[in-house]
Amino acid sequence: MKHISLLGSTGSIGTQTLDVVESHPDSINVVALAAGSKSIKLLADQIRKFSPELVSVPGKPDIALLREALGAEHKRLEIVCGDEGLEAVATHSKVETVVTGVVGFLGLKPTAAAIRKGKRIALANKETLVAAGAAIMPMVREFNAQIVPVDSEHSAIFQSLGGRKAADYKKELAKIWLTASGGPFRTWSLEQIRNATVDDALKHPNWAMGPKITIDSSTLMNKGLEVIEARWLFDVDPASINVVIHPQSILHSAVEFVDGSIVGQMGVPDMRLPIHYALFFPDRVHSDKVPRLNLLEMHELTFEKPDITRFPCLAIAQRIAAENNTLPCVLNAANEVVVDFFLQGFVKFYDMAAQIERVLERHKPVEKPNLDDILDADQWARREAVQLLSAVRH
């Protein structure tokens, strides 16, 4: 029996994780759940179905709402809240694997706490490594924790490397081929992209994901953040990570070895596949949830070079990827704020890159940052971004 906790249980990754868990009732036990305030009713349903021992919600009012939704049935369930609540879920003593499905910077502190307890992290929260890779990776080594990526591309790379540790493939690995679908604007002209609306950007061609990551996919910032994520996760020079547009999203990424062999991982674009792999790693277990890929029905797989003129966010992130300081954290924070302003209609689609650049330019980076430096940089960047954007908002 594997014992897991799940951060962000009502979000896109969370619900898909529980979907996988549901088909393996005898091998996976959900010990603890954490969720946001938006879907208390769904959280109550999840509690009825999976009977966790501990649940965390954002605030005290959410505890009351959840108790009300649960009724008399789960009176003895322990419900906690706030940052400490998230941490309690992430560090529960019975838990071996923590699935981090929360969106954004919120995932950093509980992930760090779980690493200090030597847990295995099924990492779906890329912001943790993007913002704090410089501080997190040394902790992973120090506390003998392990990160198994859930991000589909990184899962593909991890699988292609045989799930080995960096020291074991270091001499063999020449390059990473990081695939991107290209998002909804892949074939749009610069002029069309300038006039893209929020609805246009939210229509992802292949993947069903939450709104923040869907916008990041439409700007290709998501791919840029994934370059940074891969750099830390696989301990490689970012210059050896090649982004390639692959509109069918069938090859989820590949590695090129020093002898010229390219090994990749293919499958249908369905997040339950990397989630399933991370939950059972290092074993492979039958899945009846994930649809099968029929190669006989695959008529073409195509690859193209990304266009950084139409998608400047990718170039910004690729430039920042090599930094060993607080700039990646500032990039991540500024992007979160800018995406939020875009979703509310206060920033135009194509202006997002320039706004992120303005925040980056104002930052005085701290070299080799620790977790506190990163938390400070994050707060600074958010304040700065909100201030700059409020001034341009009309």
- CB-wise, 47 or 209, nearer to Mg ion? 209
Nearest C-alpha neighbor of 265 from the set 379, 371, 101, 149:
149
Nearest C-alpha neighbor of 43 from the set 57, 29, 27, 31:
57
- CB-wise, 46 or 152, nearer to Mg ion? 152
Closest approach of Mg ion to the CB of residue 62, in Å: 29
Nearest C-alpha neighbor of 346 from the set 277, 393, 299:
393
Helical (H) or strand (E) element with 81: strand 78-81
- CB-wise, 9 or 217, nearer to Mg ion? 217
Q: Specify the stretch interacting with Mg ion by CB under 5 A; choose among 18-26, 148-156, 360-368, 383-391.
A: 148-156
Closest approach of Mg ion to the CB of residue 180, in Å: 8
Closest approach of Mg ion to the CB of residue 151, in Å: 4
Q: Specify the stretch interacting with Mg ion by CB under 5 A; choose among 66-74, 149-157, 178-186, 297-305.
A: 149-157
Distance CA 25, CA 93 (A): 21
Helix, strand, or coil (residue 70): helix
Nearest C-alpha neighbor of 319 from the set 280, 281, 360:
360
Closest approach of Mg ion to the CB of residue 156, in Å: 9
Say if residues 358 and 388 touch (Cβ distance below 8 Å).
yes
- CB-wise, 54 or 201, nearer to Mg ion? 201
Binds Mg ion (CB under 5 A): choice among 87, 151, 229, 323: 151
Question: Under rule CB under 5 A, how many of the chain's residues touch Mg ion?
Answer: 3
**What amino acid occupies position 334?**
A
DSSP 148-173: EE-SHHHHHHHHHTTT--HHHHTTTE
- CB-wise, 313 or 347, nearer to Mg ion? 313
- CB-wise, 229 or 256, nearer to Mg ion? 229
| Residue list 153-182, contact with Mg ion (CB under 5 A) | 153
- CB-wise, 4 or 230, nearer to Mg ion? 230
**For 85, which DSSP code?**
H
Q: Specify the stretch interacting with Mg ion by CB under 5 A; choose among 37-45, 105-113, 131-139, 144-152.
A: 144-152
Which residues 6+ apart lie within 8 Å of 195 measured at CB? 349
Max Cα–Cα distance, the chain, nearest Å: 64
| Residue list 44-83, contact with Mg ion (CB under 5 A) | none
**Nearest position to Mg ion, beta carbon:** 151
- Does residue 216 belong to the site contacting Mg ion (CB under 5 A)? no
Q: Specify the stretch interacting with Mg ion by CB under 5 A; choose among 16-24, 152-160, 255-263, 323-331.
A: 152-160
Closest approach of Mg ion to the CB of residue 207, in Å: 8
Nearest C-alpha neighbor of 249 from the set 223, 220, 270:
270
Q: Specify the stretch interacting with Mg ion by CB under 5 A; choose among 31-39, 146-154, 231-239, 246-254.
A: 146-154
Which residues 6+ apart lie within 8 Å of 232 measured at CB? 129, 133, 134, 136, 137
Q: Specify the stretch interacting with Mg ion by CB under 5 A; choose among 82-90, 135-143, 151-159, 329-337.
A: 151-159
Binding site for Mg ion (CB under 5 A): 151-153
